[in-house]
Structure formats: structure tokens, C-alpha cells
Copies of this chain bind each other. A is one copy, B any other.
């Protein structure tokens, strides 16, 4: 029941991740502030597991994704691609990690709220289209510099973003590396509401706590009506996006960039 749920908060801490359950809310906190919460392979895996486990956990009504420190998430950790002996095997493995990661968002039955505490980059932006509400500080920015890195969109953004904001705005993010302010992201429909930075935590958590009190079956069934029809298509979009990235990660465009970055790090 509701009261026993609230009486026993649970908490797990992994390298780079903090997961708690309290009052019907599972909170997944990206917790690698020194690296601006960049996602390493373990984090991909643990976040996906935390999402999947929510589906059948009666103690969870809604799921919240947030970050610790000044960044929400700086996206994929490019260190994932460094010190690689077999680039083809690495690209295949990274593709599988990524596809499973996004699949966990697609398959989540309960409402997912992103609480954006700072700048969001790359896959931390694209998966917002798979969230049900996005509350953001006015200090956040949103950027997905895929093409400047020789890459291509993921997180089902190639399908969802044009539907949310139209092609003319989606291309700015997905093709042309433009940075959106929180206000711009709200105006184009990607995020729900922007709060002044010093009121974000208080106001967003008040909303989230209210959400967690709603009849969970109505939430699950309503989300199923909205998202269920698209689930199969989204898995197909996810597969196509990830296969394209696998090719991109072994492309000359990307190697050129990596060598540039490695030289930069070596010099520094």
C-alpha cells in the first residue's frame, strides 16, 4: 500500500549513478559531476536497468531523471571511444549498449519526468522526446552536435523531434548543431516548463510529488494510450538510428575527429 511504500526509502549507488525510491518516486541521479555527468558504458547499463525494473515495481509510480552538480548531462563520454584496439568491435558493442539504453525508455510504462538542472548535450537531449514531462532550470541549454562530430541522431529524435517541433526547428538541433536555450526548447514543445534556477528544485519537486499521488493505473493506462501505438515503430526507429551510428563510428569523418581529440588531450 501507499503508506508502506513511503515508509521505506531505498537507495542504491553505483559508480556515477544514484538511484532512490521514496514516496512512489524512483529518482535516477546522474552523479559524475567532475565529468559533467557524461555517460560511460556502465551508466548506460545501470540507467536502462533502473528504468526496466520500474515497470513491475509496485513501489514506483513515476520515475525522475536528474543530474547532480551544474550539468544535467554532457552526453556520451567520448572516452568510450578512446584506447580502442578493435574499432569495428567497439562500434558494434557501443551500438548494442545504445540500442538497449533507448529501448528501456521506449518500454517504460510509468511516467518519466526529466528534471533538467543544467546544460544537456547529445543523447541527454534526444531522449527528452521519450519523457512525459521535462522541467528545466532557465540556465540549461540544449544541444546535439551530431553532424559536427560526423555522427547522426539517436534516442528516436529523428522521428519524435520533427513531430514535436516541426522540421524547421528539429533540423537546427539534429543537423545544424544549434544550441537552444531552455526558453526556446519550451516554445518548440520539447520541454514542459522552465523555472528560475533558484526555484527549480522546490517547484518541480512539488509538481512531481503531486504527480506521484495520482491513481497509478490511470497514469499507466493513459501513457499506454499515448505511447503504445508507437512503441513498435519507435523500436524500429531506434534500430535504424543505432545501425547508422555504428557505421558513423567507423567512418573517416569520426576517426578524423577522434585523432584530433586524442592529439588535443595528449598535448594538454
Contact = CB atoms under 8 A, between A and B. Distances in A.
B176 A211 contact: yes
A169 B190 CA distance: 8
Given A226-B158, A229-B237, A244-B225, A192 B171 contact: yes
Given A147-B219, A168-B131, A215-B253, A226 B190 contact: no
A43 to B, nearest CB: 24
Interface stretch (A44-52, A63-71, A96-104, A149-157): A149-157
Interface size band for A: 35 or more
A252 to B, nearest CB: 9
Number of copies of chain A assembled together: 3
Interface centre among A150, A160, A170, A214 (most CB of B within 10 A): A214
Contact of A150 (B177, B211, B215): B215
A199 interface: no
Contacts of A215: 147-148, 150, 253
A146 interface: yes
A86 to B, nearest CB: 23
A153 B222 contact: yes
Nearest to A160: B167
Nearest to A191: B168
A39 to B, nearest CB: 21
A146 B30 CA distance: 32
Given A146-B218, A151-B218, A225-B153, A133 B176 contact: yes
A174 interface: yes
Contact of A133 (B171, B221, B248): B171
A230 to B, nearest CB: 9
A172 interface: yes
B222 A175 contact: yes
A189 interface: yes
A159 interface: yes
Nearest to A148: B214
A265 to B, nearest CB: 21
Given A165-B166, A166-B189, A221-B244, 9 more contacts: A131-B167, A152-B222, A163-B166, A164-B168, A175-B211, A175-B214, A175-B223, A176-B211, A225-B244
Interface of A: 111, 128-129, 131-134, 146-153, 158-160, 162-172, 174-177, 187-192, 207, 210-211, 214-215, 217-219, 221-223, 225-226, 229, 237, 240-241, 244, 247-248, 251, 253
